[in-house]
């Protein structure tokens, strides 16, 4: 049994997962540094923080909010290993 399932994505932009408790994990692609290396960043949201997870325009606005005001969302950032634990959790 997976404890996290992909529910929405846009390649090279984001992937949205729903956790078994109803919350969300958002994976975003950021280009950083002089050479614009793509890196993945993960953010944890409560179930009521993403109200229209299947609405592409809503997600686009949310992602732009994160990119423009990263400091506001930084406390919600989680590690890739944390997300992997949900995929690998065996009870």
First to last CA, the chain: 9
What pLDDT, on a 0 to 100 scale, did the predictor assign at position 84? Answer: 79
Q: Which two tokens stand for residue 78?
A: 């989680």
- Mean pLDDT value of segment 80-88: 77
Q: How confident is the model at residue 91 (pLDDT cuts 50, 70, 90)?
A: very low
Average pLDDT, the chain: 87
Length of the chain: 91
What pLDDT, on a 0 to 100 scale, did the predictor assign at position 88? Answer: 59
What's the DSSP call for residue 6? E
pTM for the model stands at: 0.85
């Amino acid at each position: 049994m997976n404890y996290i399932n992909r529910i929405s994505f846009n390649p090279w932009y984001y992937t949205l997962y729903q956790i078994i408790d109803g919350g969300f994990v958002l994976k975003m692609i950021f280009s950083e540094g002089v050479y614009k290396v793509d890196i993945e960043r993960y953010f944890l949201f409560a179930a009521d923080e993403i109200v229209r997870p299947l609405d592409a325009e809503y997600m686009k606005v949310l992602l732009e909010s994160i990119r423009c005001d990263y400091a506001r969302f930084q406390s919600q950032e989680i590690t890739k290993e944390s997300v992997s634990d949900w995929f690998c959790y065996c009870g």
